[in-house]
A and B are shown apart, each in its own frame.
Chain A
Amino acid sequence: MAGARLSLELSVRLPLARFALEVDVRLEGASVAVMGRSGSGKTSLLEVLAGLRRGARGRVVVGGRVLLDSSARVDLAPEARRMGYVPQDALLFPHLTAEQNVRYGARLGRASRVDEAVALLELGPMLHRYPATLSGGEKQRVALARALATDPALLLLDEPLAALDVTLKERVLPYLLRVRDEARVPMLYVTHQLGEARVLAKEALLLEDGRVRAAGPASEVLGASARGLLASEAEGEENILEGVLERPSEGATRLRVTEGLSLWVPDAPELPSGTRAAYAVPAEDILLSMGPLSGVSARNVLAGNVVGVEGAGAGEAAATVEVEGVRWVVRLTEASVRELKVAPGVRVHLAVKTAACRRLR
């Protein structure tokens, strides 16, 4: 399940327009989310890793390989770094077909890499089309395959979903999960969406004005400090849950997320039991209750503990609730927080309507 592990040693300094990017961090893990507000240096950091930013000083070691060491005058050219770079707007070569795009750097990888990437991202039907005829989501899939086909040491994903609308986003996200789980390439994933970061990454790096605010396990980093920092951009936050589908009886489908956590979702008879799936539940569609809930129409009632509450601006607040090891974000008003005395450590119940669970495909 887990892909190859990443070991990343970063100690770089790069002057930017408003501040200097100063990152000194070691990261381990299969997938790391790089978060921060727009303009906090996330993209610059990826470009430093890819070798696309001249003028970076310091040391970059990926998987034991030194890419940059300015004290030893080592600064590998981008073509020698083996970084699978996927920019925000895909940047496919417009004069080449999807297939030619995927094959572009394939001489760097094993021969079978192209076929694997095409299969993984289901590009078969669009191989002979030109980028101009592809949808935004299809372009992103081609760009992912193009990077994977080079057999990179690390995938650098720069907000691969940011340019897509909600529907397309949901179509591409499952492919990213497949890449993470099946392609066995570690990834560094830039995003400013907490939901995306939570579902994709096990580790996280939080940047603020070019400096590391926090780094470590995603569950810690993406808690309170992240929300405060990203508040203005956390609109429309969603909980994204992955698991295996089960159909215990006719007309009922449930998503098994962990041993102790299952979620009733809209019936999907077309999907056989055992299918892996991901669902999104908007943070504002979850009801939070202090006492045990009974006699409510929502089929999913989950007991958990509050681990954090933060103001989200405009009289709104977000509570993080841990249920069977899974963290949920629930939107409520600040008035409710006061009246119900929602605070860390408090036992609460969450009610989630089946209809609020939307499958990502």
Chain B
Amino acid sequence: MTELTLAQGRVDRDRLLRLLQEYGVYAGVAALLVFNFAFTDHFVSAENFRTQAVQVAPVLIVALGMALAIGTEGVDLSVGSVMALSTSLLSLYLGYGPWAAVLVPVAGGILIGLANGTLVAHLGVQPIVATLALMVAARGLALVLLPQLKDVRDPGMTALGSGDVLGVPYLVLIAVALALLVAFVVRRTTFGRQLLAIGDSRPAARLAGLPVRRVLIVVYACSGALAAVAGVLATARLTASDPTSLGTLMELSAITAVVVGGTPLSGGRVRIGGTVAGAVLIQLLTTTLVKHDLPPSWTQMAQAVVIVGAVYAARERGKR
């Protein structure tokens, strides 16, 4: 009988860790919601929900691209700087009409992504190094283009940043649409399958004839484009271009959202639903602590605990 109970204990532990990795993030979001419903004043209001959602939208969009990069066993540290470059380009090209103000920054983000991808895919530079280089370069370029903060006074931009459809802000709609699009790409397209195979076993993918380099380049280009979109939206919401501070530490928030959402850093798996929940979890965690008058530094420590927990669950599960 002892053998059975022992084996049973093992199974339970495995299952628990798996559940924690797969659904822990949703449970965390639910728990924080319940807590706030019960103990936080002024939490249950349409206005508050809207604020929360608007704040989380840019992080989420950046995290989507990050999830793709992490899925290939890579990472993209340049996303925050791409947001800064995006805001600089936006204010420079605002005079050429609303399309230019959106498309030029996105093109800039794609170019940075192509540079990342080329370094990683063709020159074999490690993603963390390649994107670190572009992180520095893109921030520098952003500051050359626009040395200091500049107000963005444009009715179109203001509408994009604070308008809504039936009470749902554009920012949130765009973020949700992009999340659905990325989830579709990962699940249903050849590109998505190839991305996962490359992340799981690069040599096997190469020998199976997959276009490894092309996929990697496209992944980083997507990450760049998404970060640029986040930069445009953040600018529209703030009605100002601030290349000095926009997007700083964004790469860390995005990585946190992805990892907490259950996407393993070892590649081969991308969880978009989890990433969305991960971004929401961090937002709620911050809000909860702030609303209960705890200093912001606590937020960072709480984030650290969540990250360690997520990585621990993933590791323990992988051991067996």
A binds B: no
